[in-house]
Structure 1
Amino acid sequence: MLNVRSVGLSLSLHKGLPLGSGLGSSAAAAVAVNEIFGGHLSVSDLVLAGLESESKASGCHADNVTPAIMGGFVLIRSYDPLELIQLKFPPNLEEKDLLFVLVNPEFEAPTKKMLVALPMEIPMRDHVWNCSQAGPLVAAVLEGDFKGLGKALSSDRIVEPRRAPLIPGMEGVKKAAMEAGAFGCTISGAGPTLVAVTDDEEMGREIGDRMVEAFMEYGNLKASAMVKRLDRVGARLVSCIPG
């Protein structure tokens, strides 16, 4: 895409993310290569490059790479042609921001395996239910509604029920997150990482601790937790060190 034909390129990536975690990391590589050669690609081109990278491993899915590059929340309207709608999550009037509690167990869930678990046919009642949650999810993002966002993302009846049994202790961990005060909790990407939503960093750490304990109690898995603020900017060059 950069029309570079005379230079070979080898990258060593230190992502700080466990493999098969459902956290998505293809965006960083696309942004890095683009910056090395002058940063000529547009955001949409970077998304396409990230999709090409992801397709080699687990199929063409824009749900991770697109918001990672663009920041915030992105609605994927279509793939052919690629149509993206960026949804602006407004600052909270009480100066609170959206926080994600990411809890990753020491357990690998390859994306291809998690995709195979999905149903080939979806009952009409489940389809209708999930559609009825998609609208409120978008509305919650546009309105900056933490509780509405958490409620909508916790209400999936198509994907989560099929993948939950493949993540040891998942249901107990989700219950622990909700009891600890999370607005919502679900699987991050294909899993096995779980993500909970809150607006308070101290509470987020408490939610993370409870989820880690629950992974050991219900799934006999060690886990680690981190609390991350919503990134409204997306993948970008932080520094450049001459080699």
Structure 2
Amino acid sequence: MTDRATAWGPASLSNLGPGFDALGLCLTGLGDRVSASRTDAPGVTVTGPPSLPTDPDRNTAARAAAHVLTQSGLEGGLALEIKKGIPLGSGVGGSAASAVAGAWAANVVLGSPFTKPDLVDAVLEGEVAASGSKHGDNVLPALFGGLVLTSPSDPTEYRHVDLEDAPEIAVLIPHVEVLTRQARAVLPETVPHRDASAQAAELAFLLDALRAGDWLEVGRRIMRDRLAEPHRSTLVPVYDAVKAAALEVGAAGCALTGSGPAMFALPSPDADAETVLEAMKAASLDGAIDAHGWVARVDPGGVRTLDA
């Protein structure tokens, strides 16, 4: 065991268009840091920015770490210190990043009794604090890295999907807060059969393109969602303008990620991700909404220890 460990929980994209609640992709460049220390007193305590709840049941990192502590069977407790690098309600997996970093830091400080697959239940439990239920499309890619396909009905069922020559990705976060619960509330409870069947086909085509490394086709397919994005895009006032700007300068595709407001764009082979990002920023500013972003790569490793 060690006295203290700090873990990095990376950002992630989810849905990727028609993969609603089923697909997630781990990203470089942005993430949360969670440090864990052993305590004599039982339970989990939290310190962090004022925007985060300190109640362990309502904090994603603490809830995940508490699950690890319970499963370890060790006595004593844990003190967590959270440093947020991902804005709350941004759409790039901020709650998931804290959950996986909390679980991993707890695991390391307890002597690493668990592997990453062993921590799936813990990180899913952490997500309950953010959305009220277990969703794997952000926490599982943040845990394992790369692209993960997961079942919305049972997120403990998942598959890691190998990617070929993934391009850089332009990621923009307009300064509009969209909370997960709010974004779920705008979705219809039922959808027409034709939309459900079309969505299944689009996801199949998207997965095939991802496996084949056909990123031009991936770009086309991420814009074919019928279930979530048509409704959630209304929560982002600059959605249409940002998407149009990205496509105009050479993006192969542009879509919301997760609940939004974040949007991501895949450059076509003859386009530059930085140019696409700058066009997306400018479009948001033209719509009177400030925004920031970065050019990301696929993070193949997921959560990791920064020090121990």
Residue equivalent to 1:208: 277
Paired AA for residue 214 in structure 1: A
Give distance in 1, aligned partners of 2:267 and 2:92: 18
**Greater Cα offset, 49-58 or 79-88:** 79-88
Aligned length: 234
Counting only pairs closer than 5 Å after superposition, residues 1-243 of structure 1 correspond to structure 2 as: 1=68, 2-24=71-93, 25=97, 26-58=99-131, 59-77=133-151, 79-80=153-154, 82-90=156-164, 92=165, 97-198=166-267, 203-218=272-287, 220-240=288-308
Residues 16-39 of structure 1, C-alpha deviations (whole Å, 9 max, x = no match): 110111111222222221111122
Paired AA for residue 300 in structure 2: R
**Greater Cα offset, 22-31 or 195-204:** 195-204
User: What secondary structure does 1:22 align onto?
Assistant: coil
User: What secondary structure does 1:67 align onto?
Assistant: helix
Check whether the contact 1:72–1:230 (CA below 8 A) recurs between aligned residues.
yes
Give distance in 2, aligned partners of 1:81 and 1:16: 26
After superposition, the Cα gap between the structure-2 partners of 1:34 and 1:221, relative to the gap in structure 1 and judged at 3 Å, is same
The root-mean-square deviation of aligned C-alpha atoms, in Å, is: 1.9
Give distance in 1, aligned partners of 2:224 and 2:232: 14
Give distance in 2, aligned partners of 1:121 and 1:81: 21
Give distance in 2, aligned partners of 1:140 and 1:168: 30
Give distance in 2, aligned partners of 1:192 and 1:199: 23
Q: Which has the higher strand share?
A: 2
After superposition, the Cα gap between the structure-2 partners of 1:78 and 1:225, relative to the gap in structure 1 and judged at 3 Å, is closer
Check whether the contact 1:185–1:195 (CA below 8 A) recurs between aligned residues.
yes
User: What secondary structure does 2:149 align onto?
Assistant: strand
Give distance in 1, aligned partners of 2:286 and 2:304: 39
Give distance in 2, aligned partners of 1:175 and 1:74: 28
Paired AA for residue 46 in structure 1: L
Residue equivalent to 2:12: none
After superposition, the Cα gap between the structure-2 partners of 1:10 and 1:202, relative to the gap in structure 1 and judged at 3 Å, is farther
Residues 201-234 of structure 1, C-alpha deviations (whole Å, 9 max, x = no match): 981111111111111223x210011011111121
* TM-score, length basis structure 2: 0.71
| Long gaps (5+) in structure 1 | none
Paired AA for residue 45 in structure 1: D
Paired AA for residue 81 in structure 2: S
Structure 1 residue 111: Cα displacement: 0.6
Paired AA for residue 171 in structure 1: D
Structure 1 residue 60: Cα displacement: 1.2
After superposition, the Cα gap between the structure-2 partners of 1:69 and 1:200, relative to the gap in structure 1 and judged at 3 Å, is farther
After superposition, the Cα gap between the structure-2 partners of 1:186 and 1:17, relative to the gap in structure 1 and judged at 3 Å, is same
Structure 1 residue 69: Cα displacement: 0.9
User: What secondary structure does 2:112 align onto?
Assistant: coil
Runs of 4+ deviating beyond 3 Å: 77-81, 199-202
